[in-house]
Structure 1
Amino acid sequence: MARIETPREGFTGRGVAGLQFEDGRAETDDPAVIAYARRHGYTVTDDAPPAKKPAGRPPSKK
């Protein structure tokens, strides 16, 4: 779960992707919303560690 804080301090209402902000804060798990918020100046605090990317394919044995 990531916490998103608006650049406009104390904002309460609907914001990014329909998130309901209360006193400038909201939470979401949606990676697209999190990425959007980061690109547009929101403060994003991520409580979960980043997901591991799968390693590439192992070399083929011939």
Structure 2
Amino acid sequence: MTFDLSTLSGRPVADAVGRLESDGYDVQVLDLDTNPMVTMDFREDRMRVWHRGGVVDHVTNG
């Protein structure tokens, strides 16, 4: 990872996805208002971008 994940909070989803994909991660985008459910399988190469209204709330690895 070439940057701190906390710097993505408050940014547009497209910006966060672009940064993560450029670092080689598979990105899963999740809307906290419509479908916050995820599987429990862990994948080191995946980042989950949680958002509300197109703005990043938080990002998790897995």
Q: TM-score range by the shorter chain?
A: under 0.3
TM-score, length basis structure 2: 0.27
